[in-house]
């Protein structure tokens, strides 16, 4: 058994840079955190740069679409609507790529990447819809069409709906959006295969959801269909498909850059709503559902990285020409381009602030003297295995941290490839007087863990097990 008499074996956290003793023989070395100097908060940029970014992407108009509450009883609307917007913009992106007249465009890889991106988005949308099954107060509140009771009789104007029979008397209804671009892509020779793949992906991913999307997928389960046009409003969304500089910039990468970042910002808006929901569910002690939301948030961070990777397919010369045309340049030597997105800065801060929920989850208060009270509670939680929902949650919180730091590390690599290391400021680490001085982007993924007590608890538990087994476990593996 693991020795749980920790108080006699632990050193207070207010004694830095020493190796705490768990017993007379067991010692654990705690690494010294990397220290930053002469760097302001990494999550900051100039107001003028942020305003220019918002104006270029027409974000004020997009936010009006995201934040308009059309269905007051539907709690999932503000979470799901921007995700559907991102999906619909991706359909437009497929059309842009396949219509590219440039002979040197890598259309084959673009098509593959956008198919993969669409699949990732549909998976996340399905997860958002599944949540309505678990939340009894949200069930049945969304705008849906349930045509299974029509016995195949349709109104004259319902030309967007198909009905056929399966297995005798079973009625199957497939509804197709009138305004979405996906049904049009399915009729275009260049995009027909991609559109069919997307429709079958929707069919598969939405099987556990209370309804399907109504984009023309077969709907073999005969589920109700979401009123996609009423929720997404594709016509209003596609009215924002041109940047304010289209009339004066003749560069095809302008459309790809503009569309990529509209997709990115739409998912950032969904991430913001998910993070708010995580905090409220933790406060309400709905820990298992909060853990599911945390893993959803982890996957959103991974999706944001996948979206940023699209920059790697842009033509280098055309992109750098566009960069000069748009006057994209750092305001200072340590500024990261991504922090011009106020939404990205906000969800980064919100993700980091989840660390303050740990004491509440563990049912303890922070020791004002800096003692290891939270660490002890975490060790008990891990070893006693009595509250698995809390274990799920604290593990998921650390998963968010890992995904967040991977996003910013990956973004640094994208900048270096797309713009060059000197312009991106991504490779610059200057040593000085025994401490590190780095650019603001590197500072985000090099900073210490957001959850030091959970980290220390696992470190001590691991060392206790190693001490208890005394190497016998390794000997058994060797045999």
pLDDT at position 74: 93
Tell me whether residue 165 is exposed, middle or buried, using C-beta atoms within 10 angstroms of its C-beta: 0 to 12, 13 to 18, 19 or more.
exposed
Band of pLDDT at residue 126, cut at 50, 70 and 90: very high
pLDDT at position 174: 79
Q: Report the alpha-carbon distance of residue 67 to residue 81 in Å, rounded.
A: 9
By mean pLDDT, which of 133-137, 215-219, 357-361 is the weakest? 133-137
pLDDT at position 435: 45
Q: Is the model's pLDDT at 322 over the cut of 60?
A: yes
pLDDT at position 27: 53
Average pLDDT over residues 311-339: 86
Distances (CA, A) of 138 to 142, 148, 210: 8, 22, 11
Q: What angle do CA 333, 335, 339 make, to 5 degrees?
A: 170
- Predicted confidence (pLDDT) per residue in 66-96, tens digit: 999 999 999 999 999 999 999 999 999 999 9
Q: Report the alpha-carbon distance of residue 333 to residue 430 in Å, rounded.
A: 12
pLDDT at position 172: 59
- Predicted confidence (pLDDT) per residue in 383-396, tens digit: 999 999 999 999 99
φ, ψ of residue 395 to 5 degrees: the values are -65, -40
- Which token pair is 475? 């000997």
Average pLDDT over residues 1-14: 43
Q: What angle do CA 377, 381, 385 make, to 5 degrees?
A: 160
Q: Is the model's pLDDT at 434 over the cut of 90?
A: no
Average pLDDT over residues 112-125: 98
Query: Of the candidates 369, 367, 436, which has an alpha carbon nearest to the alpha carbon of residue 15?
Result: 369
Architecture per CATH, domain 42-58+245-428+439-472, reads as Up-down Bundle (1.20)
More confident position, 14 or 357: 357
Band of pLDDT at residue 474, cut at 50, 70 and 90: very low
Q: Domain spans of the chain?
A: 42-58+245-428+439-472, 71-242
Q: Is the model's pLDDT at 355 over the cut of 90?
A: yes
SS3 content of the chain, % helix, strand, coil (to 5): 60, 5, 35
pLDDT at position 171: 58
Average pLDDT over residues 233-248: 95
Q: Is the model's pLDDT at 477 over the cut of 70?
A: no
Q: Is the model's pLDDT at 347 over the cut of 50?
A: yes
Q: Report the alpha-carbon distance of residue 298 to residue 452 in Å, rounded.
A: 19
pLDDT at position 170: 54
pLDDT at position 336: 75
- Which token pair is 173? 């209804």
Band of pLDDT at residue 98, cut at 50, 70 and 90: very high
Average pLDDT over residues 444-472: 86
**Which of 54-63, 68-77, 327-336 is the most confident on average?**
54-63
């Amino acid at each position: 058994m693991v020795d749980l008499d920790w108080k006699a074996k632990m050193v207070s956290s207010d004694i830095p840079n020493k190796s705490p003793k768990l017993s007379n023989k067991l010692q654990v070395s705690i690494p010294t955190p990397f220290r930053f100097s002469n760097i302001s908060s990494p999550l900051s940029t100039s107001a003028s740069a942020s305003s220019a970014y918002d104006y270029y992407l027409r974000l004020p108009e997009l936010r009006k679409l995201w934040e308009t509450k059309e269905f007051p009883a539907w709690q999932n609307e503000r979470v799901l609507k921007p995700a559907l917007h991102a999906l619909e913009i991706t359909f437009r992106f497929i059309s842009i790529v396949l219509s590219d007249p440039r002979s040197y465009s890598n259309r084959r890889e673009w098509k593959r990447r956008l198919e993969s991106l669409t699949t990732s988005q549909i998976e996340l949308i399905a997860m958002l819809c599944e949540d309505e099954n678990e939340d009894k107060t949200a069930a049945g509140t969304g705008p849906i069409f349930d045509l299974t009771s029509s016995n195949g009789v349709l109104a004259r104007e319902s030309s967007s709906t198909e009905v056929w029979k399966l297995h005798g008397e079973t009625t199957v209804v497939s509804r197709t959006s009138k305004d979405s671009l996906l049904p049009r892509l399915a009729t275009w020779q260049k995009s027909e295969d991609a559109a069919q793949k997307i429709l079958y992906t929707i069919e598969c991913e939405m099987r556990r959801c209370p309804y399907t999307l109504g984009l023309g997928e077969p709907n073999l389960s005969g589920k109700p269909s979401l009123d996609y046009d009423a929720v997404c409003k594709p016509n209003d969304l596609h009215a924002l498909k041109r940047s304010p500089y289209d009339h004066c910039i003749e560069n095809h990468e302008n459309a790809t850059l503009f569309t990529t970042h509209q997709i990115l910002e739409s998912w950032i808006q969904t991430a913001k709503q998910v993070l708010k929901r995580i905090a409220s569910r933790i406060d309400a002690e709905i820990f298992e559902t909060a853990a599911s939301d945390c893993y959803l948030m982890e996957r959103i961070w991974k999706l944001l990285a996948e979206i940023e990777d699209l920059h790697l397919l842009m033509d280098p010369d055309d992109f750098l020409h566009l960069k000069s045309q748009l006057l994209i340049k750092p305001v200072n030597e340590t500024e990261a381009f991504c922090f011009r997105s106020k939404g990205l800065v906000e969800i980064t801060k919100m993700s980091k602030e989840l660390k303050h929920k740990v004491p509440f989850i563990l049912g303890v208060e922070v020791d004002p003297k800096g003692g290891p009270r939270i660490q002890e509670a975490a060790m008990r939680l891990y070893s006693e295995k009595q509250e698995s929902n809390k274990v799920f949650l604290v593990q998921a919180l650390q998963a968010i941290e890992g995904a967040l730091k991977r996003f910013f590390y990956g973004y640094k690599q994208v900048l270096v490839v797309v713009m060059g290391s000197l312009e991106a400021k991504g490779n610059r680490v200057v040593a000085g007087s025994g401490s590190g001085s780095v650019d603001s982007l590197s500072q985000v993924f090099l900073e210490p863990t957001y959850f030091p007590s959970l980290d220390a608890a696992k470190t001590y538990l691991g060392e206790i097990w190693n001490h208890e087994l005394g190497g016998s476990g390794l000997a058994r593996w060797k045999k």
